[in-house]
Structure formats: structure tokens, C-alpha cells
Amino acid sequence: MADTVTVKVIEQSEVSPPPDTVPSTSFPLTFFDLPWLCCLPLKRIFFYHFPYSSQHFLQTSLPTLKHSLSLTLQHFFPFSSNLVFLPKPNPPHILFTQTDSNSISFSVAESTADFTTLVSDSTSHVAVDGRAFHHFMKFWASICKFKGDLENVESKGEIRDVASDTVRRTFVLSHDHVEKLKKWVKSEEAEVGTIVPTNESPTSWPLFKRSKLVGENGVVEAAIAIGSEVRHLQRETFQGAETLMSNFTEFAHMTILAGSPKLQVYETDFGWGKPKRSEVVHVDNSGTISLSDCRDKEGRIEVGIALQKTQMNRFITILEEHLTKIAVLD
């Protein structure tokens, strides 16, 4: 029987920008912010190698982490702001004021799990997109690494228990895999033919029969459809915008891609070197697929997914079949 993992909370506090460094400010949400109100907060964890005692961490690293976070929030104060909903016709807005409520919750915990040091964060897409979030993380990491010296800075909720039958896996695709997948889709496209959606939603999301997507050419059909919709959105960006929010309620299930290899999550260095590993936590219970760069191999892509054990075994089989099929392509 596996040993029980315990977690001990050492400290819980609030971190704000330095006093009197940020004026009271409000940002009204735009139309493009509203869809993100329906999405779960982004939750990512970074694992670092820290070969010292907990006491050493609390005495040396923790004060620097908190101080550097405070300095960072001076430049990224929407992260410590509140989302305010006023009676109509006033639009919702992000509001920062010099109060105790405009802060970030900061918790320190010690676990018996098999890892050394962990930095975890959670943010809302309403306040920030993926690129800005990782800019925030790298800014914070740089200030921490250089002990608060801003001249050296590189300017670039609750977690639910995972179901017992759920398995998380991270797959690594090489640059060669990605290029051959592209070539394979192009070669198969001629045989599949142009896809004609059975119906098209007002928000430019094509609707297809499930049997097509789970069929023999499902990957190719999906890839072509996504490419077609990207081109369509380039021509008709605002088509169906008036029904965008109401259409979300019609979906029984959504699969969301979180992250991008371009965000370079493994360049987030707090002074302990690159993270040993980084994971998107909400993959476990939201149907999300995560994408990121790879720690040690340039050009590789990490793909994270969580499925039930039987589904994961089938997914691995299908993935291996496709990778074997494309391996022979020149």
C-alpha cells in the first residue's frame, strides 16, 4: 500500500503592490473579455530542484519570493484587482484601489509527496491572456532571481481531487513528429476532399457528425476543419458575435487548449534554474489539453491530457499507430 501523502500549511498571507505605488484604476471589460467569464481559472504548477531544508527555504527564499511578488504587482496590478459587476447598463470592470482586498493570496505548504520545491499559481483569463500571464511569471522570477534588482529584470480557487480512475499523461512530440503530421494531413487532404459542415453555428464553429471525427480519417478531418475555420475567421472576424455568449450554453462538452509552446514556460527561473517540470492543473477535471515547450529539447512539444484509464490506454494505442504511420514519410 502506498504511503499517505500529507500536506502541512506553513503560512497563509496576502501580497499587494508596495503602498502608494499604484493609483486607483478601473478597466471596463470589452466584448472580447466576456467569453472568458465562462472558463475555469488557469492553474499551472512549476517544479524546481531545491536541495536544502524547509527551514532554509523559509529563512532565505520565502522573503525574497514575497518581496519580489509585491514589486511585480506594482507593474501588473490588475492581477491583484477585483472584478466588479454593477447594475445595468454599467459594464463589468476590473477595479484596483488601495485596500486590503486588492491583493493576491500567498500560501506556503510542506508536503511528503515526492518532489522538492513547487511554485503554483492560478489566474483568470478575464484579467489576462496566456502570453501576458507568462510575462508576469517571468518578470516575477527575474526580480526574485536578482534579489529585487529591477535593472536586471528581463522584460519579456480550489483544486478538486482527481477521480481515482483518472490518469494524467504528458506526451512529447519531436519537431520531426510535428512536421510529418503536417505533411501527412496535406497528403490525406486530397483523398478526404473538402469538408462541408452539416451545420455551422453563428459563431463560426463548424458542427460535424461524431461518426466522421471518430472514423478512420478523423484526425485529418479535424485538422482540415480547424484550418478552414481559422481562414474563415480571418475574413469574417465578427460574424455571429451577437450570439457568442448564448451559444456557450448549448455545448454539452467543450475541449479547450491551454498554453502554447511559444509561451516558453521552462524559461521561468526564480534563481533555482529551469523548472524540472511544469503542469497545467485544471487538465485533470475540465477536459482541457495543455501544450507547452519542452525543458531540454528545443523544437519539441509537451502535450498534457487526463483521461479515464481505459480511455488513456486507447488514446495511447491510437497515438502510437499514427506516429508509426507517419514515421515512414520523407
CATH number for domain 7-152, candidates 2.30.29.30, 2.40.37.20, 3.30.559.10, 3.40.50.300: 3.30.559.10
What is the distance of C-alpha 281 from the center of its chain? 9
CATH 3.30.559.10 positions along the chain are 7-152, 166-327
Report the DSSP beta bridge partners of residue 302.
172, 292
Residue 139, pLDDT score: 86
Backbone φ and ψ of 48, nearest 5°: -125, 155
Residue 126, pLDDT score: 61
Q: Would you tell me how many other CB atoms lie within 10 Å of the CB of residue 52? A: 13
- The rounded distance, in Å, linking the Cα atoms of 223 and 178 is 13
Residue 275, SS3? coil
Backbone φ and ψ of 45, nearest 5°: -125, 145
- The rounded distance, in Å, linking the Cα atoms of 83 and 202 is 29
pTM value is: 0.57
- pLDDT tens track, the chain, 330 positions: 456 778 889 999 999 999 989 988 988 887 777 777 767 777 788 888 888 888 898 999 999 999 999 999 998 888 888 888 888 888 888 888 887 678 889 999 888 877 666 666 666 666 667 777 878 888 888 888 887 665 555 444 333 444 557 888 888 888 888 888 888 888 777 665 544 444 344 344 555 666 677 677 777 777 777 777 777 777 776 666 666 666 666 666 677 788 888 888 888 888 888 888 888 877 776 678 888 888 877 788 899 888 888 888 888 888 888 788 777 666
Which segments of the chain does DSSP mark as H helices, in order?
54-56, 62-75, 130-145, 175-192, 210-213, 218-235, 244-248, 283-286, 309-327
Query: Parallel, antiparallel, or unpaired for β 288-293 and 256-258?
Result: parallel
Backbone φ and ψ of 162, nearest 5°: -75, 140
CATH fold label, 166-327: Chloramphenicol Acetyltransferase (3.30.559)
Task: Report whether 225 contacts 208 (CB < 8 A).
Answer: yes
Residue 251, SS3? coil
Residue 322, pLDDT score: 79
